[in-house]
Amino acid sequence: MPTLQCDVSTASRRRRKIERRAQPLKLEPTLEVREIDERSFKNKPAESNRIWIAGKPVEEWLAASVGSSPCCSVCGDTPCRTIEVEGEVFEDIPEVIILKAALIAASRLVGQTA
């Protein structure tokens, strides 16, 4: 499986954008990247490209569904993981969708003790 460096760079860039948007709300996003090995990817491709917010996958916060689509490059013959949000399907989840999930999570977690 090819290196995920491009994906890590993209994730870092997105985190910075989301951080700027969330700053007025005093939200502090953090980025943790976990690379899966080729064998794990082949066995469970739906575990790749997963985004977690406050301990839950982004699709849970958005009431989204997980699917797959034929891959055009890095996944080879293995299908790419997708999520469907409000009728729109994404392989590459836009910042605005991630921010929406983060805001939903923050609103539900307000007042909870750590």
If one counts every other C-beta atom within 10 angstroms of the C-beta of residue 9, the result is: 10
Nearest C-alpha neighbor of 54 from the set 21, 85, 30: 30
Give the pairing type, strands 80-85 and 88-90: antiparallel
Nearest CA among 39, 31, 49, 41 for reference residue 91: 49
DSSP 99: H
Which element (helix H / strand E) includes 90? strand 88-90
Q: What is the pLDDT of residues 27-72, one digit of tens each?
A: 777 777 777 777 887 777 777 778 888 888 899 999 999 988 876 6
Q: What pTM did the predictor assign?
A: 0.71
Q: How far apart are CA 26 and CA 6, in angstroms?
A: 29
